[in-house]
Structure 1
Amino acid sequence: MNIKANIPEPAPEPEKRVSRQRDIIDRRALTEEIDRLFAEHGVAKARAQILALLQGALNQGREEIGKRLVENPSAGHDAAAAQSFLVDQLIRIIHDIAVKYQYPVSNPSSGERIALMAVGGYGRGEMAPHSDVDIAFITPSKQTSWTEQIVEAMLYWLWDLGLKVGQSSRSIDEMVHMAKDDLSIRTALLEGRYVWGDTGVYEEAKLRFFSDVVEGTHRTFVSEKLAERDSRHHKMGDSRYVVEPNVKEGKGGLRDLQTLYWIGKYIHRVASAEDLIEVGLLTRGEFLRFRKAANFLWAVRCHMHDITGRAEDRLTFDLQPEVARRMRFADRKGKSSVERFMQYYFLNAKVVGNLTGVFLAHLDETHNAGVRRFIPNIIRRPKKLKGFILDRGRLALPDEKFFEKDPIRLIEIFQLADKYELEIHPMAMRAARRDAKFIDNNIRKNKRANKLFMEVLCSPRDPELVLRWMNEASIFGRFVPDFGRVVAQMQFDMYHHYTVDEHSIRAIGLLAKIGSGELVDDHPNSTETMKKLKNRRVLFVATLLHDIAKGRGGDHSILGAEVAMKLCPRLGLEPYETELVAWLVRSHLLMSAMAFKRDLSDYKTIQDFVSQVKSMERLRLLTVLTVVDIRAVGPGVWNSWKRQLLTDLFESAEEMLLLGHKQRGRKERIDQKKTILAEALDLSKAQFDKLAKRLNDPYWIAEQSDIIEQNARLMIAAGEDNLAISAEAYPERGATLVTIYAADHPGLFFRIAGGIHVAGGNIIDARIHTTRDGMALDNFLVQDQKGRAFSEASQLERLKQAVEDALANRAKLAPKLEARPLAHSRADAFKITPMALVDNEASNRFTVIEVNAQDRPALLNALAYALFESKVTVHSAHISTYGERAVDTFYITDLLGSKIESKARLNSLKKKLTVAATFQPVGKEAA
């Protein structure tokens, strides 16, 4: 063996202690039974019986481990160790079968030796019920025919047992060569553990690995593992607060803890995570937090495998309630059991993040040249640091008692980091986390402390980054206890992608970027609006507080306004500013509700909105707050359609507030649109007048000029035909405009809705018109299942054909609708009770009815059919989805064009819509 004399032998791995081992699997009893079966039936005939015996042992072992997990649902380490023990015993039995009975050799040569090494997570002695069995078959030199037979025989046994095996079969030289070239192989072998076989081969392999592969490559390994970690985080969403986290690979998950252990083992040859204390990488308290977080995460992962019967590592919505139930979380006022469980999950993920920072800080002190990943962005070095010091460009502490002497420094360090764009030294972050307890009511009421906090919150630089640091250090929640209540709090729905604290911090970051002009392409109106604000700090405080009362068992907007009234004076806001923040928090959902659920062409909608907003300053503040609130919900939620609706509402409200609606009244607006259309069309005055007279006043008010032009050209092209269909991409609204010009008849709306859905479209807005000569002119804005416009010629043709088929009744709609897949299969995890609300005050001309229901295929078709059955006329439909929840609003009249006033008829209509939202439509017309 070529082993360098100065390389210490790696410490032996500690045996994972598993209680009552024979209750899981009795290897001695199984071996005796296998020996008997081979003796009685011979090798060939005994195989089936032995396989059944092993399968029974595997099932019984898993059942026992599952039973223990039910009895002690938080014992993650015990379950993971027990699963590894079970697999160990089976592999040992299978090895002995292959060597003793299938391919026995009486006098093996030096090459006819083999060692079985568990690698990866299995090597660490931690496995979930359906984890891969990662095993390395190691031989002293190139494989012989005997070792090949042994490996093949063992693999067939393992595969027949249904185990997913990750295997490699290499000589020691091949193992060393491949480990040098491949980071993943090197990492897996780092955790190599002897399972069975030739101990000499195993010991030589381990020594060669540490001498020939590990020695002298510490810095490279650390930098590569950290880069690998960053890449994994980016792939998984780059936040530990996504509401469907990956327990294994996600940020703050098990892999992050394992990365710390791998780095520690690679550099210091530690045999267990606890040994990180001895080498100074973690304190005893930090290790205990490491152990506690890992134990919880392993418990969650084992429950997930057990529930699904497969290797499932993503904690999806449908799994969260069952895992919460198994781990004995209960409902509390304002928070369901699943929300409490997920909050605890995210708090553990936060612990993992904290430990990572501390660990890397220690490494940085001793291996900084190879570990340091970030170069501080110092625009100007401060001359005065208020007692803080600079350590390689990072804010650090002069001594361990620095925060304790003056706890206001716990806020000041973040203000300095923001002001001078400095990193904070991880050891200073560790001290801040430790000393957060010194922030008491005296510090919270201190004017200087609040001034420093407000400078960070309203920073024109990067408040999101610094506020996130404050949150990670637990300073944010200590200084603003109401914010501390929503740290790591999730909302159990498919709409919100992040926890409440993460959402709020992201919204503040977006606010700063809009204010600096960075997002002018995405948010031109908001960028321009922020320039006109008289008081920007009101907007930043309102953004911080808009969701701060979630989870309190009431309307979070109203409760949040109460929080604002108490907190804002403490933060140094004047009484009028406090009132304004409270109004913004109370009304932060008003603008989106009006824009997405109401008809913006209806004068009463704008009037009602303006009556609540009252001033241009409040309109501007509310507009920008609405934009950042929506966009910070998560990726894909914001789109150009929402931007257009909010801009339309803003401009209409602005016009009413600045000019008064009478200066640009209904007649003036209609005349202006007619003039624009006349200029666009090549028609004589007589031809134009004839066309214009066919369209009634509500049509001219409701539609934009570009859509009016498109509609007019379709009508002209149709001539005497009673059907024309157009579908074209409408980039300004991020959707496809589908226009149907057809002879009006009952049921037209639900058939069009069904046809669009059959073609794979989601209707996000609909305007239904009838010309004075009895033709329907209906405009639908349509997106695909991912919220994008249909733009390819084949897609547009499919849309038109599907609508035409539905209108001509060429094929039964119901079977085609049922065949369409559910857009959100995870929606089954949520149960939303359908509800229909009637509002006869929201419009002067129409009855407005809003249906809240669980989103599902062809929901709009079902609701439209219910309206058809109820003998009402639909004038416009506005469709909004919030994850698993759909909110569809219809502006309707009776068949004579009047509001529906009869309580009996309204109750009947609500009942039919509620039933339609629950079940698929029935009846000949629906088919």
Structure 2
Amino acid sequence: MHGHWRWRGGHPKQGAMAHPFHSLSNWRAIIDRRALAGQLDTIAAETQDAAARRRAMVVLLRAALEDGRAEVERRLLAHPSSGRVAAQTTAFLIDQLVRLSHDFTVEHLYPANNRSAGERITLIAVGGYGRGEMAPHSDIDIGFLTPFKQTSWTEQAIEAQLYTLWDLGLKVGHSSRSLDEMVRAAKDDLTIRTALLEGRFIWGDRELYDQAAARFDAEVVAGNARAFVAEKLAERDERHKRMGDSRYVVEPNVKEGKGGLRDLHTLFWIGKFIHRVRTVPELVDAGLLTARELKQFARAENFLLAVRCHLHVLAGRAEDRLTFDFQREIASRMKFADRPGKSAVERFMQLYFLHAKSVGDLTGTFLAHLDDQMAARGRRFLPSIRRRPGKLNGFVLDRGRLALPSDDFFAADPVRLIEIFALADKHGLEIHPQAMRQARHDAKLIETQGVRRDARANALFLDVLTSPRDPETVLRWMNEAGVFGRFVPDFGRVVAQMQFDMYHHYTVDEHTIRAIGLLADIEQGRLKEDHPLSTAIMGQIHSRRVVYVAVLLHDIAKGRGGDHSVLGAELALRVCPRLGLSEAETETVSWLVRYHLLMSATAFKRDLADFKTILDFAQIVQSPERLRLLLVLTVVDIRAVGPGVWNSWKRQLLSELYDAAEEVLRLGHKQKGREQRIASKKEAVAAQFGFDRKTFDKVAKRLPESYWIAEPVEVIAANLVHIRQAGDAPLHIAAVPDDDRGATLVMVLAADHPGLFYRIAGGIHLAGGNIIDARIHTTRDGLALDNFLVQDPLGRPFAETGQIARLTRAIEDALANRQKLLPKLEARALPRTRAEAFRVAPNVFVDNKASNRFTVIEVNAQDRPALLNQLAYALFQSKVTVHSAHVATYGERAVDTFYVTDLIGDKIDSPARVKTLEKRLLEAATSQSEEVVAA
């Protein structure tokens, strides 16, 4: 705790240090304490009734609080980036209210004329409030200290003050302790110790406060610095893990997240505990920050505080998570504007992540200084692995870390800015934070000294990128030092760039570095269970450099306006030769960047049983080597989007497409004859599932040729069991979990009639199911056999008996028309608060070239419950037969694809009919999305 200031006639006393509010102007506009104190004296003079006095005081102070908050907001809007001013204004406002409440309580509610020595109270602000910084709706952390155990008077006085603050609608974190209790609690609990470290005198008995501060220094702080630092760093690591250990999560927590305010404050607390500094600038005198880093600290803190204050004001409560719905509003309040290729919200968030990155940089160098100050000679205070490699090309080892022999080492030969990272990778070494700091400082030499054109620098960079060890970690260090973005300036443009949607969890640079890490994991066989095919393929690829460079460049042209795949392919033609790739390798990388979305789009949005889908895909890919490279690139790209995006269904679809395309590319277009394929599939089903031949032939006869081509062996086998179980029943529904696909296979056998598909889809939605794929067949004897792949809202199969029973009952009810489907589905709309931050403009494509037999319709729309049902209903109204449906979701965007014909089985190719179909589907895609977004 540090000594502080007292009021003298409305102005603070300037002592050894300025009080935290010295920079605020026009205090009385925030709150006029003197005028309010006069009004409170009048209230006390008007009535002797304590309850009436209290009520009148609360009314007066509540109005002052509201006026003060309005002034805070006015100042915030006038200077939307001045977070520190807004935070200090709020703390100042609360200080005055606490003082007024205290004085009124001890003078007019519980006056005690002959108080004993033990009946003294001091009020202290702790935590962020103690620092003099509060977001508008933060908790008020306040401590009441008494000399000894509490007397009945101190208890009454403290309780009355707390009730006043609660009645004002404030959230109060409080403690009441004697001096002995305070020291004991601080020794026992790290949180209390940290809160008291920021202790600041607000009001009450000043002498008692000075005693408390002296005892805290002597009994809690002295001699315990090492333990405090170790505990604080462990607490920070635990917090990062909890918050999703990355600075670049697209909905960050401004206070607790990595690179957030709490990380900055941890540095201050550590410096405070060790060196007893009272303000952040004093960390420079203590040798823990340079003057330049102090500026960086102040800029980051000011920006993060501003964001947090805007968040609180907009939410009307203590809210620290910067969710999508707030991002757009805060970008506008902080005066960000759209630019070509980048919206205002993306520019705002890029600045946010750059500040979060600079918090990370500061933390690294701060801890290095700390390490140097606190470690014994030749040892390290913070633990690490020690190795002794042989040649270090002039670099030196400092306690097991790569360091510089002198500050001008990079300036003498700027290629060393790349070489240090190559050495770190090769020998598995950490880089000394002092060397990282110097690299950050000298990174600009990469531009001025022609390092990008240096063949040796490019070869070293390529060594790091394609390292068989741990390229992800070293590239991340390179990025944090600012060397990566200077050496590959196109990469520099996407550093800290977010994509404003619910699908991408990370910024573009973080996504790219994660994808490179995943590629290394696959190559080393560390993800064999998740990616057996990619792991096998990595061993067959001719040029591993090609796939690593393609992963580096696949998203490099995002945020430039235009198609990032096309722009990126052009960029690759420039960058690859510079990195030392041959002409053939350059061409392949460029092709991979151009088509990096092709394989996932084909697998997730098209019918893989339609041979034309495979032929069209193979036509673009053209070689087995490109196919191998494209699969691996697709897998790491999807997986690096964020947790939970990759699943077994995606693995299944990509493997299916790979196998089918590989066969076409190997054998040319001479695909095995249709009859031969059907015959071999029938053999496989009969052999695998041991049906007796007679029964098998009888059931098999009922199914048309198109069915045998469309469905995989295991689905056919499940269908045959289902048909046999159905017997002559007019309706039979069965559901079996399919772990390979990570979904439940729902099979419906029913008398075929128009509208069957949309009703089944409605029933499945009502039971809480999401349809990810659907195939519709008609048996030779006129029954509909429909196969749906269904997942629960969390993307898992329906597996429990109760869940499956609910699913089948909902489908039965929908088919029997027992309930009006649409009103029920609309009533079931799930809470979609995050999606409301986005607008997906619906669009419809009708394609008659993608299939020889079917018209392919693709609908893009805002994802919502019952969307598929409404689209299917529109198709039913348009007198169209649906043969298969494929559903892909990308965060808030849904892409639903239908393979359809008219009622007599022909393509829909009359322009007038296509136009009507587009119009009707567009209405269905739009109809509820407007209400959902506006709701």
TM-score by length of 2: 0.96
Residue 587 of structure 2 is aligned to residue 579 of structure 1: yes
Contact 2:54-2:109 at 8 Å conserved across structures: no
Per the alignment, residue 837 of structure 2 pairs with: 829
Per the alignment, residue 318 of structure 1 pairs with: 325
Per the alignment, residue 152 of structure 1 pairs with: 159
1:15 to 17, 20, 23: 20
Residue 175 of structure 2 is aligned to residue 177 of structure 1: no
User: How far apart, in 2, do the equivalents of 1:261 and 1:521 lie?
Assistant: 45
User: How far apart, in 2, do the equivalents of 1:385 and 1:447 lie?
Assistant: 20
By how many angstroms is 1:151 displaced?
1.1
After superposition, give the CA deviation of every residue in 1:585-628 in whole Å (9 maximum; x if it has no partner): 00000000000000000000000000000000000000000000
One-letter identity of the residue aligned with 1:118? A
1:867 to 875, 879, 887: 875
User: How far apart, in 1, do the equivalents of 2:264 and 2:525 lie?
Assistant: 39
SS at match of 1:485: helix
2:616 to 568, 593, 608: 608
SS at match of 2:181: helix
One-letter identity of the residue aligned with 1:743? A
One-letter identity of the residue aligned with 1:841? K
Per the alignment, residue 5 of structure 2 pairs with: none
Per the alignment, residue 4 of structure 2 pairs with: none
Contact 1:515-1:527 at 8 Å conserved across structures: yes
Q: Indicate how the Cα distance of structure 1 residues 828 and 377 shifts in structure 2: closer, same or farther if over 3 A, else same.
A: farther
One-letter identity of the residue aligned with 2:342? K
SS at match of 1:667: helix
User: How far apart, in 2, do the equivalents of 1:479 and 1:904 lie?
Assistant: 55
Q: Indicate how the Cα distance of structure 1 residues 634 and 377 shifts in structure 2: closer, same or farther if over 3 A, else same.
A: farther
User: How far apart, in 2, do the equivalents of 1:376 and 1:11 lie?
Assistant: 44
By how many angstroms is 1:367 displaced?
1.2
Q: How does 1:505-544 map to 2 (within 5 A)?
A: 505-544=513-552
Contact 1:754-1:858 at 8 Å conserved across structures: yes
Contact 2:101-2:164 at 8 Å conserved across structures: yes
User: How far apart, in 1, do the equivalents of 2:360 and 2:688 lie?
Assistant: 60
Identity within the alignment, %? 66
Residue 907 of structure 2 is aligned to residue 902 of structure 1: no
By how many angstroms is 1:510 displaced?
0.4
Contact 1:862-1:921 at 8 Å conserved across structures: no
Residue 268 of structure 2 is aligned to residue 261 of structure 1: yes
Residue 804 of structure 2 is aligned to residue 799 of structure 1: no
Per the alignment, residue 110 of structure 1 pairs with: 117
Residue 481 of structure 2 is aligned to residue 479 of structure 1: no
By how many angstroms is 1:231 displaced?
0.6
1:650 to 658, 663, 666: 658
User: How far apart, in 2, do the equivalents of 1:847 and 1:823 lie?
Assistant: 35
User: How far apart, in 1, do the equivalents of 2:710 and 2:462 lie?
Assistant: 44
By how many angstroms is 1:788 displaced?
1.4
Per the alignment, residue 709 of structure 2 pairs with: 701
User: How far apart, in 2, do the equivalents of 1:413 and 1:399 lie?
Assistant: 14
SS at match of 1:726: strand
Per the alignment, residue 840 of structure 1 pairs with: 848
2:566 to 558, 563, 578: 558
Residue 251 of structure 2 is aligned to residue 236 of structure 1: no
Per the alignment, residue 207 of structure 2 pairs with: 200
Between stretches 576-585 and 210-219, larger displacement belongs to: 210-219
Contact 2:466-2:548 at 8 Å conserved across structures: yes
After superposition, give the CA deviation of every residue in 1:186-217 in whole Å (9 maximum; x if it has no partner): 00000000001111111111111111111111
Q: Which runs of 5+ in 1 are unaligned?
A: 1-9, 923-927
Residue 375 of structure 2 is aligned to residue 375 of structure 1: no
Contact 2:20-2:88 at 8 Å conserved across structures: no
By how many angstroms is 1:821 displaced?
4.1
Residue 857 of structure 2 is aligned to residue 849 of structure 1: yes
Aligned residues: 911
After superposition, give the CA deviation of every residue in 1:554-588 in whole Å (9 maximum; x if it has no partner): 10000001110001110001111110000000000
User: How far apart, in 2, do the equivalents of 1:589 and 1:160 lie?
Assistant: 58
User: How far apart, in 1, do the equivalents of 2:398 and 2:259 lie?
Assistant: 27
Q: How does 1:424-435 map to 2 (within 5 A)?
A: 424-435=431-442
Contact 1:94-1:154 at 8 Å conserved across structures: yes
User: How far apart, in 2, do the equivalents of 1:679 and 1:229 lie?
Assistant: 59
Per the alignment, residue 619 of structure 1 pairs with: 627
Per the alignment, residue 364 of structure 2 pairs with: 357
After superposition, give the CA deviation of every residue in 1:697-728 in whole Å (9 maximum; x if it has no partner): 11111111111011011110110001111112
Q: Indicate how the Cα distance of structure 1 residues 372 and 839 shifts in structure 2: closer, same or farther if over 3 A, else same.
A: farther
Contact 1:533-1:621 at 8 Å conserved across structures: yes
Per the alignment, residue 334 of structure 1 pairs with: 341
SS at match of 2:920: helix
After superposition, give the CA deviation of every residue in 1:222-265 in whole Å (9 maximum; x if it has no partner): 01100100111111110000100000000000000000000000
One-letter identity of the residue aligned with 2:232? K
Contact 1:11-1:271 at 8 Å conserved across structures: no
By how many angstroms is 1:681 displaced?
5.2
2:297 to 290, 300, 304: 290
User: How far apart, in 2, do the equivalents of 1:94 and 1:635 lie?
Assistant: 50
Q: Indicate how the Cα distance of structure 1 residues 64 and 707 shifts in structure 2: closer, same or farther if over 3 A, else same.
A: same
After superposition, give the CA deviation of every residue in 1:54-89 in whole Å (9 maximum; x if it has no partner): 111001000001001111101100000000000000
SS at match of 2:670: helix
Residue 84 of structure 2 is aligned to residue 67 of structure 1: no
User: How far apart, in 1, do the equivalents of 2:380 and 2:99 lie?
Assistant: 40
Per the alignment, residue 143 of structure 1 pairs with: 150
Contact 1:865-1:921 at 8 Å conserved across structures: no
By how many angstroms is 1:473 displaced?
0.1
SS at match of 1:853: strand
Per the alignment, residue 86 of structure 1 pairs with: 93
Per the alignment, residue 604 of structure 2 pairs with: 596
Per the alignment, residue 35 of structure 2 pairs with: 29
User: How far apart, in 2, do the equivalents of 1:310 and 1:71 lie?
Assistant: 21
User: How far apart, in 2, do the equivalents of 1:291 and 1:595 lie?
Assistant: 49
Between stretches 111-120 and 821-830, larger displacement belongs to: 821-830
One-letter identity of the residue aligned with 1:778? D
One-letter identity of the residue aligned with 1:15? P
After superposition, give the CA deviation of every residue in 1:311-363 in whole Å (9 maximum; x if it has no partner): 11000000001000000000001000000000000000011000000100100
Per the alignment, residue 281 of structure 1 pairs with: 288
SS at match of 1:110: coil
Contact 2:862-2:929 at 8 Å conserved across structures: no
2:61 to 40, 54, 72: 54
Q: Indicate how the Cα distance of structure 1 residues 372 and 700 shifts in structure 2: closer, same or farther if over 3 A, else same.
A: farther
Per the alignment, residue 577 of structure 2 pairs with: 569
Contact 2:485-2:491 at 8 Å conserved across structures: yes
Q: Indicate how the Cα distance of structure 1 residues 810 and 377 shifts in structure 2: closer, same or farther if over 3 A, else same.
A: farther
Contact 2:386-2:399 at 8 Å conserved across structures: no
By how many angstroms is 1:823 displaced?
6.1
TM-score by length of 1: 0.97
User: How far apart, in 2, do the equivalents of 1:610 and 1:574 lie?
Assistant: 25
One-letter identity of the residue aligned with 1:439? I
